[in-house]
Each structure stands twice: as structure tokens, then as C-alpha cells.
Amino acid sequence: MSISVDTYALVSVEEAKNYLLESPVTNLDTKEDLIIRLINGLSSTAETYMNRKILARDYTEDYDGTGTDTIQLKQYPINSITSVCVDEDRQFPSSKEIQLDDIIIYSEEGKIRRSPSGLYVYIDDETGKIIKYSVFNRGKKNVRIIYNAGYSTVPYDIKHAVLEELVMHYENITKKKVGVTGISAAGEHVSVFLGDLLPTTKMILSSYRKLI
């Protein structure tokens, strides 16, 4: 079965091969499938440890309204906001979208805030009343946010940490050492337990870690 590098993998096959060439390994071309599995597995493990995604992509997420003017998004840094819609019925029509000029973005913190001068105004279809809110109305999954977040390129220290892990796990597998990694049943990833990460890797990833 042919396998490929995940779209948002933290290193490329070329980068992995070049890094491996600096270590005492051989037959890299015949081990490309293993290298790809390691890239995919280690990228997933690193992001699991950091509790966040690294490379930029689009998200559509529903949040509980906080009853305050601020919402903490799941991913960051925030690059752009496409829309913010508050709807207690969770239908999210365009008529209930907040004007983006009334949204303040705290990119590195991953937060958005209602502008103190901004008001969310709409006409209730049933009562005909004009409803105004200056906060994210309290509710369950009543706020839908469409946004883009993440880095345009993988930060160098994260990339370096993943490559260091790749060399270690590559050598453990090819030298048939046990107890560190294992190829998944699907054959597309190498499973790496968080406890197996090098102390230096954890130190680097911890600086990007999102606290839940």
C-alpha cells in the first residue's frame, strides 16, 4: 500500500533524509516508507504533546458563549477571522453575524474580544424586537467562528526536535530495538508514546504547549 506524508506534517521527506545522512544509517532510499511513517507519527505525537496544531489552516468551530466579551480559540496564532456568528438556535444565519470591525484579535494569545464600542444588533423574527448584545451571549455551542490559525512555516526549533526524534526512532526500528516504537495496524504511522519523547524534545515543545 502506497503511503504519503500528511499534508500538515512538521518535516518533509527531504529534510528527514538529509538529517539522517548525518547519522550512521544506510539504505535510506529503501526505507522511504518507514521514514514517511515516522514523519507522520512523530508530527502527530508532537502536536498531541503541544495540545495544538502548528501549520496554518482553516477552522470552523462552535464555542459556548461565555457571557463575557472574550472567547479563547482552540488554535493560534490567529491569522484571520472570516466570520463570527452568535445564534442560540445554532442555525448561524448570516443575519446574526457580528461585524468583523467589532472584533479585536489577540493573535498570539488566540483570543478574540468584542470591541467595547461594538454592538451586535438583529431583529428577532418572532417578536420583531431589536436585540442588542455587546458580549458573547451565554449558551451551549451558540457561537460559530470561522478562522485561520497557525504558522506559515514550522518553527525551526520544533522542526529540529522532530528530526532528532526521527533519527532515534529510525535507528531503534532498523536495529530492531524494542519497546520504543511500533508501526500501526494501518501501516501509515509509527506509534510513538509521549513518554518516549526525549527530554530535550519535551523542553522545546513545552514552550509551544497550550494549557487545557
Please tell me the predicted confidence (pLDDT) of residue 24: 56
182-187 long-range contacts, CB within 8 A, separation 24+: 183/37, 184/37, 184/41, 187/1, 187/3, 187/37
Its pTM stands at 0.81
Please tell me the predicted confidence (pLDDT) of residue 3: 85
Sign, CA dihedral 134-136-137-143, equals positive
* Mean pLDDT along residues 2-17: 93
More confident residue, 1 or 100: 100
Q: Which of 109-113, 133-137, 190-194 is predicted with the least confidence, judged by mean pLDDT?
A: 190-194
Please tell me the predicted confidence (pLDDT) of residue 11: 98
What average pLDDT does the chain have? 85
pLDDT digits (tens, 9 = 90+) for 33-80: 889 999 999 999 999 999 999 999 999 999 999 988 899 999 999 999
Please tell me the predicted confidence (pLDDT) of residue 126: 74
Sign, CA dihedral 62-63-69-72, equals negative
pLDDT at 185 over 70: no
pLDDT at 180 over 50: no
pLDDT digits (tens, 9 = 90+) for 158-177: 999 999 999 988 888 887 65
